[in-house]
Amino acid sequence: MVEIYSWAPRSRLGDMISNRFRWFRKNFRPRSKTNFGDELGPWIVSRILELNGITPSKSVLRSSSPTFFSVGSVTSLARNGDIIWGSGHLNEIKPALMSGVNSLDVYALRGPLTRDLLARGIGFGGLPEVYGDPAILVPYLFPEIEPIPCDGRVLVIPHIDDPMPQETSDDFEFLSAQMPFREVVARIAGAERVVTSSLHAKILSDSYGIPNVVYQGATTSKFKFDDYALGVGGSVFEMLPSLDQALLQTTGSSLKVTEVQGRLLDSFPYHVWI
């Protein structure tokens, strides 16, 4: 059985999985706070399987089961035998993989910076030059999500580790990253402009063609933003130093991800589920 990686693991999506096995796996680390970006991976992978008539095996998760990594800066959590499709690394300082990991099935990576770290630091050969964060597929995979208009206000989504502004404003709508992913997606899709320190808020904004501005949050890693941008054929972009400065921006931009969506879907390893 292949297990879909989730930062906040739980029995879900119809899989009869025993949570007790998760605690014996070093690459499952529940967090105390929910985060819409952490929820995307399992939903995206499950929807792709569903659309292709594939039902994952329903069996008890064992400590030796391979893990399928998709959305997130999670390559450093992979173990030998695990599967990577569209994942990235957090920064250039932390090791890209755990010690002793030298055998992974890699089908796509978030961007070339992650690929370079894996190839240079671990000596992996033959890594694919297929790039893209799977979150760019959300508009294609979830067409049923209806946009929620922001009524002319700028949508502001701080990273989960950044403070949520308490003041209200007629010009801005503040949205917590702890909201369910479907609501976050709907609000981004209905926004006229997005200001964020969350990578996946930016990725979703790009995917829906919504102009956006990124600011430096408390724990924001520019590495992962650059990795994503280069992976979709863009270039590194300016990250404003604070939320206050980002709110003063009257324009924004979005990266074009249409071509990458097709390549990413083509690289999906359906065979590991059959």
What is the value of pTM for the model shown? Answer: 0.89
Q: What is the pLDDT of residue 50?
A: 95
Q: What is the pLDDT of residue 18?
A: 36
Q: What is the pLDDT of residue 165?
A: 81
Q: What is the pLDDT of residue 23?
A: 40
Q: What is the pLDDT of residue 252?
A: 86
Q: What is the pLDDT of residue 88?
A: 95
Give average pLDDT by consecutive 10-residue segment, the chain, 274 residues.
74 40 47 79 95 72 77 91 94 77 91 91 78 97 97 93 82 93 97 96 96 92 95 89 92 87 96 88
Q: What is the pLDDT of residue 16?
A: 39
> For residue 173, what are the β-bridge partners?
155
Q: Give me the residue spans of the domains in the chain.
A: 3-135+261-273, 139-257
